[in-house]
Each structure stands twice: as C-alpha cells, then as structure tokens.
A and B are shown apart, each in its own frame.
Chain A
Amino acid sequence: MILIDARELEHPIPLEMTVDAFKNLKGSEVIHFINRREPIPLFEILTKNGGFYLSRQNSEGVWHIHITRDPNLDLEAIHV
C-alpha cells in the first residue's frame, strides 16, 4: 500500500504526487490517498488511463481514495 497523506499540502501538489505514483503503479499495488477535498479532476485522469478507484468521505470530512490498476482487486475489501 502506497500512502499519500496530502491533507496539509497546498494545491496542486496532492494531485501531482498521486498521478506520479499512479504512473509507476505495479501489479496489484494500491495507493491510499488522503485529502481534504474530493479530488474530482484526478478521477478523470485515472479512468482514462486504466485505473480504478474508490472514494469515500469519513465522518470527520476527510476523503480516503484507494487507487489501483488491477481490475480484479476488490477495493471495498481493503477500504478502511
């Protein structure tokens, strides 16, 4: 699991870090991206380039996004 906690980072660093990590993602690796906002533009980049994601907001308003490029991986199962 590659953890990117971007809650304290200024825009656009979180997006760039996550896309960089996604470009180098291998096999069934998963990125766990934590952000203050739902990174909607990121989702287009992921889906257009063979990625899959699960995006959820917790009760404190923080967004947790799990990203993979393995179509067989069940992101629901690893979501915490």
Chain B
Amino acid sequence: MFEGLSLDQAPPLSVVMRFFLTVPVFGLFLSLLMIFAPHDVLTLSHPLSLASIHLLFLGIISMGMLGALFQMQSVLGGKPIPQPQGSSLIIHTLFTLGTLSLVCAFAFGISELFIVAGVFLGSAIVYFAQILLPLLFGSITHDTLKGMRLAVIALLLTATLGIVMATSYASGVFGEYHALIRTTHYSLGLIGWIAMLIVHVAFQVVEMFYVTTPYSAWCKHNVGRILVGVLALKVLWLFLNLPFPWVTDMIVISLLLGFVVTTMKRLQMRKRRVSDVSIWFWRGGIALLGIALMSYTGYVLSDYASLETVSLIAFALFALSIILGMMGKIVPFLVWFHLSSSGFMDTPIMSNIIPQKRSKILFWLFSTTVIFALLAPFYTNILILCGLTSTAMFALLLFNLIAAKRLYHHTLRHGTKFSFEN
C-alpha cells in the first residue's frame, strides 16, 4: 500500500506560516523606503539601495522560498524535515534577525551590524542546509529534488561570499577581489539559488497544478547540470580576467529563455481552463523573467545602465510573482489538509480559504506595482507610486494570511468532526 514513505506529508501550519507572514512585513519596510527615498533606492551602490536589495532578496524572496521548501520537501521528498517546528523556529528567528541587521547596517551605516548580520544569516543558512541536504542526497531520483539540492548548495555559497563581503564592509577594507566576489555572490544568488529552485519547482507544479503536457525528460534531467557548469565557467572566467565575460551570461539567458517559451506554451495549451489566480501569477512571473532576460541582453549590447536596473527589478518581480502564486496554493492546502486529517466535517474548500475576490485584488495590485517598478528606472519619482501600490499589496497579503490562519484556528475550536456511525 504505502512503501517506505512517511505519512506525515505536510508540516504543521505554523512551520510554513511563520516564514510567509514575515514576507509582507519586510515588504512593507521596502515599500516605505521606496516612498520616502526613491532616488537613493535607485542609485547604484547607495547604502539605501543595498538595504532595499537585501530586503527584497532576503526578507521577501528567500524568506518565502525557505518556507515553501519546508512544505515541498515533505510532499515531494516523502522525507519530512525532522522536528519541523523547532527547526523552523530557529531558522526563521536567525534569518529574520540577520536580515534586519544587514538592512540596518546598510541603512544607518553601523559597521558592527555587518558582523552581527553575517553571524545570524550564516547560522540560519548553514543550519537549514545541514537539516535539508542530507534528505536530498542518497537515493534521490526526482529531478525537482535534485534541483532543490543544487539550489540549497548555491544558497550556502552565496551566503559564504556574503559573509566575506560583510567583513569587508565592517572593517572598511575592500581587497582587490571585492568586485569579483560581489559579482560571484549575486550570480550564485540570482541564478544558482532563485532561478535554479523556481525552474525545478515549475517542472513539478506546472504539470501537476494546471494539467499541462510534461516538460521534456531531457530538460528536467539536465538543466540543473548545465546551469551549474555555466556558473562555474563564469566564476573561472571572472577570476582569470578573460575577455568578453558576458559570454557565460548569454548561455544562461538562452537557457532561461527556452524555459520561458516552453512554460508559456504549456500554460497556454493546458487541457482544462479553470480560472485560478495562481496561474495568473505563474504567467506573470514567467513573462517578467522574459523581460528580465531581454533587458539584460539589451544592457550588454548597449551598455545603457537603466536596462540593467530594469533587468534586476523584473527578475525580482518574477520570483515574487511565483512566490505569491505558490503561497496562494500552499496556505489553503495546508489549512484544508490539517483540518481534513483532523476529521473536521465543515473544513472549508480550498478556494474559500483565501477567497478568489481577494486573490484577484492581490494580483491587480501586484500588476500595478510591476508597471510602476519597471518604469521607475526611467522616471525615478514613479517609485513613490510603486511604494504606495506595494504597500497596499503587502498589507492585503498580510491580511489574507492572517485571515486564513484565523479560519484554521476557528474551525479547530468550533468545527464539527465527522463520525462514521451508520
């Protein structure tokens, strides 16, 4: 009947929710920065720009991805993370404190906080990797799990380089390799951690959630290896100071453009066309990845700096779009699953846990934020409008998550359990 797989297929709701609830809180901090310091946020290497980038990539995107990994490892891997409540509490606390310290270190120029951030973030990521990676080695055959393994290793390397740079910021001494380390740090973070994970998760969920034709087995099996090879080549290229360093970027862009086209095609040609806001987020996210890749190509060809900024913003919004879509699936599933497995007769259906109407408003607020964010590198003051719409978006996201959690606890206290008396 059930061969070797654990029956505890979903982590407790609180394990995932503590990460997801923190996402909109950091989102609101970022929105405030955009409203009150739009010029600084968009000025390359300005302390507030670096604070914003780390709020976005650590506090929002990585926070959401870590929470989702607790869920995905259980469901896909069949080997849940041991002691998930304790582990998630430790990782979440360290990661939150580390992100706050790093953002404050940049924003207020407090050099000691770079060391504090390095210790907290490094501890969180090392602890996360040491509990997750052993579950992802051994007899793993699932391509998505192999992709998760590569992504977590890339996160570890990204964090290691981040800590090296944090010590430079703390001491004010920047070695001759600082620029190379920085480039390697963000290449590993953006491609090795974020793109690697999302591409491999797409291989699993696009087909499963939206009843599409499967991705080609060759792609699923090899895309991770190719990305690792190209990233290794890029690092080597940089440190040997070889000419035309953008060559490796173009290989990554070609590969990811292939992913964009093939995913869009699958979403367009899906067998059933049930209206679901999560698919809007997936489509939007994939389109944003396409914009990021095209803008970066434009930047390489023209050296027009604003295009590089557009590319980074579009890439971050690509990841955020997928995270919002996944949250809209994971949270209702966990609420429904735990109530159903506890035997509640009146468990709400998943589409009512976060009502469609509120999900649609969230999507439209996200879309408006995207438009303003992509225009902001050309008209800086538009970032204020972007900050206002993202405030509304993150406030609604927070409300949706809290409402889902309250519904869960309300049903636990007042729900009716089903009985099997004939």
A interface residues, Cβ below 8 angstroms from B: 8-13, 16, 19, 23, 25-27, 36-37, 40-41, 43-45, 47-50, 53-55, 69
Contacts and interface: CB of A to CB of B under 8 A. Distances in A.
A8 B271 contact: yes
Contacts of B298: none
B10 A41 contact: yes
B135 to A, nearest CB: 16
A50 B9 CA distance: 18
Contacts of B210: 10
A37 B9 contact: no
B341 interface: yes
A49 B344 CA distance: 10
Nearest to A40: B9
B138 to A, nearest CB: 19
Main secondary structure of the interface of B (DSSP, over half): loop
8 contacts: A10-B272, A10-B274, A10-B276, A11-B208, A40-B9, A41-B9, A41-B10, A44-B10
Nearest to B270: A10
Interface in B1-17: 1-2, 5, 7-10
B211 A12 contact: no
Contact of A54 (B1, B343, B349): B1
Interface stretch (B174-182, B254-262, B332-340, B358-366): B332-340
Contacts of B276: 10
A76 to B, nearest CB: 10
Contacts of A13: 274
A11 B330 CA distance: 11
A54 B5 CA distance: 15
Given A9-B272, A10-B276, A40 B78 contact: yes
Contacts of A26: 422
Interface string B273-302: 010100000000000000000000000000
A9 to B, nearest CB: 7
Contact of A44 (B9, B211, B345): B9
A42 to B, nearest CB: 9
Given A44-B9, A50-B420, A69-B420, A8 B341 contact: no
B341 A44 contact: yes
B350 interface: yes
B209 A43 contact: no
B75 interface: yes
Nearest to B208: A11
Contacts of A12: 332-333, 336, 350
Given A43-B2, A49-B343, 14 more contacts: A10-B272, A11-B329, A16-B349, A27-B422, A36-B211, A41-B10, A41-B337, A45-B337, A47-B7, A48-B342, A48-B343, A50-B420, A54-B1, A55-B2
